[in-house]
Chain A
Amino acid sequence: DAMVIQNPRYQVTQFGKPVTLSCSQTLNHNVMYWYQQKSSQAPKLLFHYYDKDFNNEADTPDNFQSRRPNTSFCFLDIRSPGLGDAAMYLCATSRPGTDVKKTQYFGPGTRLLVL
């Protein structure tokens, strides 16, 4: 089945220790997104790639970086995690266009714990 895969599902890191979360997709979608979701809050868009074009949200901290080496893979790098970065990180994909093609397909998420 075509899908969005995130690894690992759970990640524990130490305060200030860099961490990388990964996302892969078999949907062949142009656009990939990274969201941060804290408990009982809406997903917050961090950035997205339209093909190789990187689009950063204005309020995304510099501590968060992303790489997309090819269509299928996208990585989220947190350079120096703080306690406030503990959250669920969601990867999503979409194929831009009209109607249903605008919808986003989410992976299962990676839950990050910062000690």
Chain B
Amino acid sequence: QKEVEQDPGPLSVPEGAIVSLNCTYSNSAFQYFMWYRQYSRKGPELLMYTYSSGNKEDGRFTAQVDKSSKYISLFIRDSQPSDSATYLCAMSETGANSKLTFGKGITLSVRP
């Protein structure tokens, strides 16, 4: 089993839809959970950041972490064509020099 599993996609939704993106993981030492957005032929950019369990909301985006189930989610409300990108989940342990472990990413397409 890989450390981080992410639904492979691709995912296509109509504009205005609610999108749910998910990752599962096996390493119980992960404490930091991130979602990166990567547009085509560009580097990943940090979208959401969560420490430990709980929810975090930023505009149309909500990140959820359920450490008991080793499951994280990113919800996008009122999706827009500009949200079309690849979304990568990433996680790390505590420690000053901990590395990120990424999921493979899921490509989202929002149809006008």
Contacts and interface: CB of A to CB of B under 8 A. Distances in A.
Interface in B86-104: 88, 92, 94, 96-100, 102-104
B10 to A, nearest CB: 9
A40 B96 contact: no
B60 interface: no
B98 A45 contact: no
B97 A50 contact: yes
Interface centre among B44, B46, B49, B107 (most CB of A within 10 A): B44
Contact of A90 (B4, B44, B107): B44
A70 interface: no
Interface residues of A, number: 28
A96 B99 contact: no
Nearest to A91: B43
A31 B96 CA distance: 10
A102 B98 contact: yes
A105 B34 CA distance: 12
Given A40-B104, A40-B105, A102-B32, A90 B97 contact: no
Interface string A73-103: 0000000000000001010100011111011
A99 B51 contact: yes
Contacts of A48: 99
Contacts of B103: 42
A25 to B, nearest CB: 12
A98 B31 CA distance: 11
Interface of A: 4, 6, 31, 40-43, 45, 48, 50, 55, 88, 90, 92, 96-100, 102-109, 111
30 contacts: A4-B43, A41-B105, A42-B88, A42-B102, A42-B104, A42-B105, A43-B44, A43-B102, A45-B99, A50-B97, A55-B97, A90-B43, A90-B44, A92-B43, A96-B96, A97-B96, A100-B49, A102-B32, A102-B92, A102-B98, A103-B34, A103-B46, A103-B49, A105-B46, A106-B43, A107-B43, A108-B42, A109-B41, A109-B43, A111-B41
